[in-house]
């Protein structure tokens, strides 16, 4: 069993960094639902997407940062919420190079500090996976260490989910980054009593055997989430898995 350290630092109380085992696993939806759930409980909540790529003018649908802001009806300046936004749909370092820009972790940490001074809880969403490079020498793990936040890891229940989750957990363990929970998401619909459903159940069972932190989910697929509507986020925020995640994140109270 892989056991990762839990953070006892006051810095982690009510705050976390949401990352994923891969891109497209539903980090934004999970974090938005968590933020809405915490807000409904009376907690002061801010959100942050330090780096986002693929934000070219005319892109279909809102950006992740815009969706997160909308779910809380927030008015935080974009420079705090989303310090770096790039048009190219590449990994952060490649997108920055394409734009002839350089990502500064100091700038991100400063923006986080301004949000942390305003809110009891700040939820931060990564881009892509845990080892995605941000600069020539730093990756997403370096940013998490600088922010001193525990991690909520979002993974998928599909085939390959066990391997992706365990590799990401190993990368966290190598840096001694604390993990609050593994959240297994179901971003696409499936048929009941199907081979796919049996496979998902086996993924959940294996991961519960192998890691020493709560495994939440799989979260349900909700048709109301299609198209990025707020109604879907609100519906998901009331599901037992998100309520359990909110308990873990706010364990020290508002």
In this predicted model, what pLDDT tens digit does every residue of 11-42 receive, in sequence order?
A: 445 899 999 998 888 898 999 999 999 999 99
Under 8 Å between Cβ of 72 and 45 = yes
Task: Between 4 and 76, name the one with better pLDDT.
Answer: 76
Residue 67 lies in a domain: no
Domain holding 197, by residue range, is 10-46+120-249
What's the domain count of the chain? 1
Residues 57-72 pLDDT 10s: 656 556 777 778 777 7
Domain-embedded: residue 207: yes
Q: Give me the pLDDT at residue 13, please.
A: 59
Looking at residues 223-239, what average pLDDT do you find?
78
Residue 1 or residue 202, greater confidence:
202
Give a yes or no: residue 212 inside a domain.
yes
Report the alpha-carbon distance of residue 252 to residue 254 in Å, rounded: 7
Alpha-carbon gap, residue 245 to 243, rounded angstroms: 5
**Averaged pLDDT, 237-244:** 95
Q: What is the pLDDT of residue 254?
A: 44
More confident residue, 191 or 247: 247
- What pLDDT, in 10s, does the model give residues 118-169? 998 999 999 989 999 999 999 999 999 999 999 999 998 877 889 999 999 9
What CATH number does the domain containing 243 carry?
A: 3.40.50.300
Indicate the pLDDT class of residue 190, thresholds 50, 70 and 90.
Answer: low
Residues with Cβ < 8 Å from 151, sequence gap 6 or more?
A: 16, 17, 18, 19, 144, 172, 177, 178, 179, 180
For residue 22, what pLDDT is reported?
87
- The verdict on residue 102 lying in a domain is no
For residue 8, what pLDDT is reported?
Answer: 35
Residue 109 lies in a domain: no
Give the whole-angstrom CA distance, residue 158 versus residue 182: 15
pLDDT at 226: 67
Looking at residue 227, its pLDDT comes to: 60
State the pLDDT at residue 124: 96
The average confidence (pLDDT) of the chain is: 85
CA distance 253 to 247: 9
Look at 134 and 3; give whichever has higher pLDDT: 134
Q: Answer whether residue 216 shows pLDDT above 90.
A: yes
Catalytic residue IDs? 49
The answer to the question of residue 163 being in a domain is yes
φ, ψ for residue 65 (rounded to 5)? -60, -40
**254: in domain:** no
Structural domain contains residue 70: no
**What is the reported pTM?**
0.88
- What's residue 5's pLDDT? 41
| Element holding 212 (H helix, E strand) | none
């Amino acid at each position: 069993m892989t056991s990762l350290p839990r953070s006892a630092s006051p810095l982690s109380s009510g705050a976390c960094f949401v990352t994923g085992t891969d891109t497209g696993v539903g980090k934004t939806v999970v974090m938005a639902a968590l933020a809405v759930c915490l807000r409904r409980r009376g907690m002061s909540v801010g959100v942050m997407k330090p780096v986002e790529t693929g934000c070219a003018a005319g892109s279909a649908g809102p950006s992740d940062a815009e969706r997160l802001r909308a779910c809380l009806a927030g008015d935080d300046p974009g420079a705090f919420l989303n310090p770096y936004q790039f048009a190219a749909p590449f990994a952060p370092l490649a997108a920055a190079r394409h734009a002839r820009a350089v990502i500064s972790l100091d700038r991100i940490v400063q923006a986080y500090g301004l949000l942390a001074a305003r809110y009891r809880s700040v939820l931060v969403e990564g881009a892509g996976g845990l080892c995605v490079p941000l600069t020539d020498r730093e990756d997403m793990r370096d940013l998490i260490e600088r922010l001193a936040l525990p991690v909520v890891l979002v993974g998928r229940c599909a085939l390959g989910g066990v391997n992706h989750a365990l590799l990401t957990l190993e990368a966290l363990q190598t840096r001694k980054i604390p993990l609050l929970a593994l959240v297994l998401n179901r971003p696409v619909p499936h048929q009941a009593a199907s081979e796919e459903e049996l496979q998902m159940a086996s993924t959940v069972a294996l991961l519960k055997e192998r890691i020493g932190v709560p495994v939440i989910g799989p979260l349900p697929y909700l048709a109301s989430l299609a198209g990025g509507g707020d109604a879907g986020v609100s519906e998901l925020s009331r599901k037992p898995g998100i309520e359990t995640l909110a308990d873990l994140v706010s364990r020290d109270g508002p």
